[in-house]
Amino acid sequence: MKIPFTLLPKSDAVYLTIEETVGNALRTLRKKGFQAVPLINAQGEYCGTITEGDFLWNLIRDFHMDMDTMRQVKVGSLKLKWNYKPVSINADISELGDVILNQNFVPIVDDRNVFIGIVTRKVIMEELISDRRARRKKEEEKES
């Protein structure tokens, strides 16, 4: 199955821009309840995935938890601990198996690296299980 059939589009996905302040970004994470979200630039290109841990360790190490500074610092200046690699919209969902083992979602980009949405671990697992069941059923029918 191709990724477009399982894609949560950018318009429905939660993401942050590199120009958002840390304070606004933290409010978004808290409000939405996510631990990691895609990070994009002004052109819509995928820049990485930012996690709660990225905020925490940057704020402790670089800003010493100074709230006035956090209200001014841009999210794009934070160092990202994990490298959530995006996958092309043209990839097959079966190609996401190795990627999804280590992250909750896979960022999806077009040929210009523009962020267009995400595919969640749950959707990938459901699809892979469904494919496996379908193959098993065909094998059982052949044996009958």
Domain edges within the chain = 3-143
Tell me what percent of the residues of the chain surpass a pLDDT of 70: 98
CA–CA distances in Å: residue 141 to residues 14, 109, 131, 134, 144? 43, 39, 15, 11, 5
* Ranges of residues in the chain whose predicted pLDDT is under 50: none
Pure H helices in the chain: 22-32, 52-63, 67-70, 97-100, 121-143
Please name every residue paired with 115 in a beta bridge, in sequence order, or none if there are none: 109
**Terminal-residue alpha carbon distance, the chain:** 27
The pLDDT, as a whole number, for residue 1 is 62
Confidence (pLDDT) at 65? 67
Amino acid type, 13: A
- 3-143: which CATH topology? CBS-domain (3.10.580)
What is the pLDDT at residue 12? 93
Residue 7 pLDDT: 86
Q: Which amino acid is at 109?
A: V
